[in-house]
Structures are given as structure tokens and as C-alpha cells.
């Protein structure tokens, strides 16, 4: 992964000093709350329902073992001993004290971490595929480009006060998309043109929130060296012309929709023509410099790995076999596998980890995966480089930690925001719904029979739980001060991205397990052959589900 040089380190130390000064001025009354607000947000600090919340950036999801240990220590020393992985590959502390935040940021800076631009109306963390660099599906490792974007977007002088927040995601797989790039402000699909040159298909104006939209392609092929100047052009058009009169209409998707994607693209191209050959243009040398940081670790050859023992264990032990089938992913290097550790254990809010678990993850990635780990947008973590002959040991080690629930990709591997238990924006609690569903659908055989289903829960229409793109989406709504839940069906976040359709009137929390059960029964009754839930929904439409769910005696 990327390691700082002296300049990177100095810049991040300068940031800590800057925020310490700003916090002092706020606490002494020199800096009014309204003016401190965007400054603290751009360092990840929210003031939440019960306490401040601090969001720490994990660039495109990559963490090292010293970073994990530092997060564990911070959660012990400054918080209540746990942290929460988010749907954008970041991590949050829910209980820090405002006056401690500069010290926390200083501790993070020592391990090359920060809270820079994890909130506020600026360019946020760039996200990508959690299997980047290890999947044989990709045409190139997207992480060097994410790092290049990270550096370009960090303290960009022109784009710190955009109309609204701005999220970029990169995908390098032609046939799959684990980064949900079509629902980002900018989605970059890495491609090769007919001449074999590397570049990006550029999509703009996707997003969730109140106005869920799939992004539009504004350029079919952007050569890789033009990446940064083209991003500058898009951001400049948005900064100048995006709406600032209404925060619900301020995202770039509204501008793209209002102008039309073609007219928007023309504006970007016109701007870009002025700057494409400026010194801001990326260089081969820089791409090469960054790529060195993402070179392959010292893999053994497949002959050095006892894969036969692994295959034997897989056959002999059904539980291990189930886990391998579900939670272990093929690796581009023979003899290796990528392992997803699920943070979706019954009774634990999705994405939550204790300090002890963070320390354990640090040791696990040192022992099994070259000291690195990735956070996924489904709020799980991945050990990306595990030898197959060590999978059984790893499985044995993670079972008591609660990381081996073999439910990856199934109904109970839910995405869920912190909801009304923690977040001051939420209309409704989301975690109790997730827990009730996990309790109701705890039969693994049934879950396996249902196959892949994304169930996503958001506590409000800001959509941090990505409910629009869940095959089943649940949205917390407020009806006269009471918490209700609206269900949508048919959303998807991959290459076939789609926004879910609302099923009908919303439900009380205690009705939710029964509602989901009826939806699942409809699928089971109607499916043909190997159809997934999404396939069946796309074939039969929403009505059969609606009829069953709203039939009497609910």
C-alpha cells in the first residue's frame, strides 16, 4: 500500500497543527460555531445525537496492521472500546470528546492516517473494489489511480467549498462492479481502447439520497494521463454552476440532470480544452512511482503450497466447506485466496468492531496476509492474500472472534447505517431492524437456498445504508413522530445498477420480519431454475410481491 514520504508526512502534520489551532479558537470563543462547522467536518468531526462522531479516512479501504492497532488504542483511550466501519470504506468513532480530537488526529498522523475530507462539501474518500489487485477479473489494479486521485483531491485549493459533498469511485473489472460506481458523483470505469491504451470511461451524476440516479457516461474514453485535468474540469463546472440555494438540489446529479448529460459534457470538454496540456497533467513517471507502492507481495509458488490438504479439509468438514464456499474468493495467484471476514454477527450492529477485535485483525493480517487488510463497502473486512493451506487455521482462529459467519452475500449480510441509535439525522432506528431480521433468518440452509440477496437499510433518506440499490431496501421514515419503514425492491449496485421501486405504504418495526418473509416466500414460489432474487423480480415485476405482502392478516 502507499507509504508517505517526508512531504506527505509534513503535510498531514501541518493539518493536525491547523486543526488544533482552529479547535483552540473555537473553544476560546474566537471562532463561531457556524464558521468552525465546515472546518471540523473537513476533519471528519460531526456533532451527533449523543456525542461528537469522528470519521477516519481509510483511503480506498486499505489498512495496515500498525494502523489497526492504532485504531484499537484510540478506541480504548478516547472512546468506548469499539469502532464502526462505514459503507464508504471508512471507520467511525462514536464517542470522542471534541477537545480530544486534535490529539486523536496527531496519533493517527503517526501511522499515516487522518480524518481529512471525510465530511463536508468537498471531495471525499475515493473508493474502489475490495478485491483490487488480487482479482483476475480486473484489467489493471485500480488502487494506484485511487491514490493519485487522493493526492489530487487532498486540500485542493479550488474545491474545498463545493455546493455539496462529492464522491468518486473507481472500478477496473469489465463484468462486475463492487465499488457501485454508477451511483457516485463521478464513477470511473477503467478500460482499454481499441489501440490497447489504458483509460477511463467517465460517468457523472449518479447518487443516492433524496433523488437516486444512475450516473450518465459523459466520456467513453479518457486516456490515463488526462485523469486529473479532466477531474479538474468536471469539478470546476460543478463548483461554478451547481446549485447553492437548496442543499437538497446541490449535488452534481441535479446539475447534470438540469443541463442534460450532453450539455454538461460539452461544458466539461470546453473547460478541459484549456487545461488539458497544463502542468497539472499527470505523468508516466508519477503513475510508475505510485504503482511501486502496490506491487505484489512475495507470493510463494503454487508448488510450495499444500493445496491438497486444503481440498481435503474442505470435503471433510461441512462447516469449513460452507465457509469456504461463501466467504472465500478466488485469487489471481494460484494457491492464494481472498477471505472476507464478516462483521455481521447476530446481535452486533453491522460494521461494529471492538478494540480487541481490531487488535486481533492486526495479528491476523500479519500472520496470514502480508500485514494488510481491506474494508469493504458492505462493511466487512478482507484478508486479500491468504495461502490456501492456511485457510483452515485462519477459519479456526476467526470463529471465536465472530468473523466466520458464513453468510457473505446472503440476506443477513446486510448493509446498515448507524441509524437513530447514533445519528442525529436519522428518522428511525436501523440497527434493531437489522437485528430482528438476523434473528428471524438465522437458518443457514435457508439463506444458502435463497442465494445472493442484498438487503440494505438506511435510517433516513440521506441513504447512508444505500437502501435504493439494495435488492431489498429498507428506509426509516418519520410519520407524525413515529418510526416507520418503507420497503423497496429491485435495486442493484453492480454493472446492472438500478434504483429500487417502492413496494407501497410503510410498516411498523415489529412488522418488518414478517414483511421480509413474505417477500422471500414470493420469490421462492415464483423463481425458475437458478434465478436469483433480482432475476425473478426483474421477470415478474413488483406486483406479485405487493399482493402477498399487503394481503390481509399482516
Smallest distance from the beta carbon of 246 to another protein, in angstroms? 14
Q: CA–CA separation, 545 vs 531, rounded Å?
A: 16
Q: How many CA atoms lie within 13 A of 90 on its CB side?
A: 23
Smallest distance from the beta carbon of 66 to another protein, in angstroms? 24
Instruction: Encode 384-439 in three state secondary structure.
Output: EEEEHHHHHHHHHHHCCCCCCCCCCCCCCCCEECCHHHCCCCCCCCCHHHHHHHHH
| 511 touching another protein, by CB under 8 A | no
| 279 touching another protein, by CB under 8 A | yes
| 18 touching another protein, by CB under 8 A | yes
Smallest distance from the beta carbon of 289 to another protein, in angstroms? 7
Q: Please choose, from the candidates 429, 332, 320, 328, the residue with its C-alpha nearest in 3D space to the C-alpha of residue 380.
A: 328
Can you tell me which of 48, 87, 90, 121 binds another protein, judged by CB under 8 A?
Answer: 121
Contact 12, 112 (CB under 8 A): yes
Can you tell me which of 27, 280, 292, 309 binds another protein, judged by CB under 8 A?
Answer: 280
| 154 touching another protein, by CB under 8 A | yes
| 156 touching another protein, by CB under 8 A | yes
| 370 touching another protein, by CB under 8 A | no
| 97 touching another protein, by CB under 8 A | no
Nearer to another protein by Cβ, of 7 and 528: the residue is 7
The separation between CA 97 and the C-alpha centre of its own chain, rounded to angstroms, equals 26
* Residue keyed to cell 486521485: 149
| 269 touching another protein, by CB under 8 A | no
| 21 touching another protein, by CB under 8 A | yes
Q: CA–CA separation, 106 vs 9, rounded Å?
A: 11
Instruction: Encode 225-286 in three state secondary structure.
Output: HHHHHHHHHHHHHHHHHCCCCCHHHCCHHHHHHHHCHHHHHHHHHHHHHHHCCCCCCCCHHH
First to last CA, the chain: 52
Can you tell me which of 73, 76, 80, 244 binds another protein, judged by CB under 8 A?
Answer: 244
Can you tell me which of 282, 394, 423, 475 binds another protein, judged by CB under 8 A?
Answer: 282
The separation between CA 313 and the C-alpha centre of its own chain, rounded to angstroms, equals 33
Write the binding mask 28 to 47 for another protein: x where contact by CB under 8 A, - elsewhere: --xx---x--xx--------
Total residues interacting with another protein, rule: CB under 8 A: 42
Smallest distance from the beta carbon of 159 to another protein, in angstroms? 7
Per DSSP (E only), the strands in 130-215 are 168-171, 186-192, 198-204
Taken as a whole, the chain contains a residue count of 554
Nearer to another protein by Cβ, of 227 and 515: the residue is 227
Smallest distance from the beta carbon of 90 to another protein, in angstroms? 20
Can you tell me which of 2, 15, 170, 190 binds another protein, judged by CB under 8 A?
Answer: 15
**359 grid coordinates:** 487488535
Nearer to another protein by Cβ, of 10 and 424: the residue is 10
| 155 touching another protein, by CB under 8 A | yes
Smallest distance from the beta carbon of 14 to another protein, in angstroms? 5
| 278 touching another protein, by CB under 8 A | yes
Q: Give the interface segment with another protein, choosing from 155-163, 413-421, 470-478, 479-487 (CB under 8 A).
A: 155-163
| 270 touching another protein, by CB under 8 A | no
Q: CA–CA separation, 163 vs 153, rounded Å?
A: 16
Q: Give the interface segment with another protein, choosing from 11-19, 175-183, 311-319, 424-432 (CB under 8 A).
A: 11-19
Q: Give the interface segment with another protein, choosing from 4-12, 104-112, 341-349, 408-416 (CB under 8 A).
A: 4-12
| 239 touching another protein, by CB under 8 A | yes
Nearer to another protein by Cβ, of 34 and 195: the residue is 34
Contact 415, 437 (CB under 8 A): no
Nearer to another protein by Cβ, of 274 and 539: the residue is 274
Question: Got the DSSP string for 310-358?
Answer: HHHHHHH-HHHHHHHHHHEEE-SSTTEEEEEEP---TTS-TTEEEHHHH
Q: Please choose, from the candidates 288, 333, 332, the residue with its C-alpha nearest in 3D space to the C-alpha of residue 145.
A: 288
Smallest distance from the beta carbon of 46 to another protein, in angstroms? 17
Q: CA–CA separation, 74 vs 81, rounded Å?
A: 8
Contact residues for another protein (CB under 8 A)?
5, 7, 10-11, 14-15, 18, 21-22, 25, 30-31, 35, 38-39, 121, 151-152, 154-163, 228, 236, 239-240, 244, 274, 278-280, 282-283, 285-286, 289
Amino acid at each position: 500500500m502507499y507509504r508517505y514520504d517526508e512531504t506527505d508526512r509534513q503535510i498531514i502534520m501541518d493539518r493536525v497543527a491547523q486543526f488544533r489551532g482552529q479547535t483552540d479558537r473555537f473553544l476560546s470563543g474566537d471562532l463561531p460555531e457556524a464558521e468552525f462547522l465546515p472546518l471540523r467536518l473537513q476533519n471528519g468531526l460531526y456533532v451527533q445525537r449523543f456525542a461528537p462522531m469522528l470519521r477516519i479516512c481509510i483511503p480506498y479501504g486499505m489498512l495496515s496492521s500498525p494502523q489497526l492497532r492504532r485504531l484499537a488504542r484510540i478506541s480504548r483511550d478516547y472512546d468506548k472500546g469499539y469502532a464502526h466501519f462505514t459503507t464508504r470504506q471508512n471507520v467511525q468513532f462514536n464517542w470522542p470528546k471534541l477537545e480530544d480530537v486534535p490529539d486523536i488526529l496527531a496519533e493517527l498522523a503517526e501511522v499515516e492516517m487522518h480524518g481529512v475530507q471525510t465530511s463536508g462539501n468537498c471531495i471525499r474518500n475515493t473508493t474502489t473494489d475490495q478485491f483490487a489487485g488480487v482479482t483476475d477479473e480486473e484489467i489493471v489494479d485500480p488502487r494506484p489511480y485511487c491514490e493519485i486521485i487522493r493526492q489530487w483531491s487532498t486540500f485542493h485549493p479550488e474545491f474545498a467549498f463545493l455546493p455539496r459533498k462529492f464522491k468518486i469511485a473507481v472500478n477496473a473489472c469489465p463484468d462486475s462492479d463492487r465499488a457501485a460506481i454508477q451511483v457516485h458523483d463521478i464513477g470511473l470505469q477503467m478500460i482499454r481502447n481499441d489501440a490497447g491504451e489504458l483509460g477511463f470511461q467517465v460517468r457523472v451524476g449518479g447518487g443516492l439520497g433524496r433523488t437516486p440516479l444512475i450516473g450518465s457516461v459523459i466520456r467513453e474514453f479518457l486516456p490515463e494521463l488526462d485523469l486529473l485535468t479532466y477531474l479538474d474540469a468536471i469539478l470546476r463546472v460543478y463548483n461554478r454552476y451547481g446549485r447553492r440555494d437548496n442543499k437538497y438540489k446541490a449535488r452534481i446529479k441535479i446539475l447534470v440532470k438540469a443541463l442534460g448529460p450532453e450539455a454538461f459534457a460539452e461544458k466539461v470538454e470546453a473547460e478541459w480544452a484549456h487545461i488539458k496540456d497544463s502542468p497539472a497533467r499527470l505523468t508516466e513517471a508519477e503513475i510508475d512511482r505510485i504503482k511501486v507502492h502496490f506491487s505484489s507481495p512475495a507470493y510463494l509458488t503454487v508448488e510450495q503450497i499444500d493445496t491438497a490438504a486444503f481440498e481435503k479439509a474442505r470435503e471433510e468438514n461441512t462447516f469449513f466447506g460452507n465457509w469456504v464456499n461463501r466467504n472465500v474468493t478466488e485469487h489471481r495467484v494460484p494457491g492464494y485466496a481472498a477471505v472476507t471476514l464478516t462483521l455481521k454477527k447476530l446481535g452486533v450492529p453491522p460494521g461494529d468492531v471492538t478494540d480487541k477485535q481490531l487488535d486481533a485483525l492486526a495479528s491476523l493480517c500479519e500472520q496470514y496476509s502480508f500485514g494488510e487488510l481491506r474494508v469493504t463497502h458492505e462493511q466487512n473486512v478482507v484478508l486479500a492474500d491468504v495461502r490456501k493451506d492456511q485457510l483452515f487455521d485462519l477459519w479456526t482462529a476467526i470463529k471465536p472472534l465472530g468473523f466466520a459467519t458464513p453468510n457473505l452475500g446472503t440476506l443477513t449480510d446486510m448493509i446498515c447505517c448507524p441509524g437513530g441509535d447514533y445519528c442525529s439525522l436519522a428518522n428511525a432506528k436501523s440497527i434493531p431492524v437489522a437485528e430482528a431480521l438476523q434473528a428471524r433468518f438465522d437458518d443457514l440452509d435457508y439463506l444458502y437456498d435463497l442465494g445472493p440477496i442484498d438487503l440494505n437499510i438506511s435510517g433516513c433518506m440521506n441513504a447512508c445504508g444505500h437502501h435504493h440499490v439494495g435488492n431489498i431496501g429498507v428506509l426509516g421514515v418519520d410519520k407524525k413522530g413515529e418510526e416507520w419503514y418503507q420497503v423497496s425492491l429491485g435495486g442493484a449496485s453492480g454493472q446492472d445498477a438500478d434504483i429500487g421501486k417502492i413496494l407501497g405504504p410503510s410498516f411498523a418495526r415489529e412488522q418488518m420480519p414478517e414483511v421480509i418473509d413474505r417477500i422471500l416466500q414470493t420469490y421462492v414460489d415464483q423463481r425458475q431454475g437458478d434465478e436469483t432474487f433480482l432475476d425473478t423480480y426483474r421477470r415478474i415485476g413488483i406486483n406479485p410481491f405487493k399482493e402477498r405482502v399487503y394481503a390481509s392478516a399482516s
